[in-house]
Structure 1
Amino acid sequence: MSLAQANKNLKYDKRMTERNITIGEVSKEEWQKHLETLPDLASNAITFTIDGKTGSSADDNH
């Protein structure tokens, strides 16, 4: 894959948003339109908590 193709693939990458807007690669309006086209996948989310308890006896000694 060429560098140009890799950059094109990253145009809407969340990690690159601020940079792409700053350098004019993407306008704020274009970014907002892109966000509006994304599907709502909230129903696919799995909720979990991290409470430090695993239930194993090995952890009880620490």
Structure 2
Amino acid sequence: MSLAQANKNLKFDSRMIERNVSVGEMSKEELKKHLDSLPDLAHNVETFTIDGKNSSNEEEAH
């Protein structure tokens, strides 16, 4: 894979977004359009505490 192809694959990588916008490889409007197109996956989260216990009903896991 060429460097150009690797950069293209990382265009929307969260570590590269600020750089891509600042050097003009991506506009803020293009970024907003991309972010708006992403699905809402909030229902997939699992809340936990530092001690490792699930903050939801503990008895469901047993």
TM-score of the alignment, normalized to the shorter chain, above 0.5 = yes
| Unpaired segments ≥5 residues, structure 2 | 53-62
What is the RMSD of the two structures over their aligned residues, measured on CA atoms? Answer: 1.6
Higher relative contact order (CA 8 A, sep 6+): 1
More helix by share: 1
Which ranges of 4 or more aligned residues in structure 1 deviate by more than 2 Å?
none
Identity %: 73
**Counterparts of 2:35 and 2:50, CA distance in 1:** 30
Larger radius of gyration: 1
Taking the TM superposition and a 5 Å limit, the aligned residue runs for 1:24-39 are: 24-39=24-39
Instruction: Provide TM-score, normalisation by structure 2.
Output: 0.77
Instruction: Say whether 1:10 aligns with 2:10.
Output: yes
**How many matched pairs?**
53
Taking the TM superposition and a 5 Å limit, the aligned residue runs for 1:21-60 are: 21-51=21-51
| Unpaired segments ≥5 residues, structure 1 | 53-62
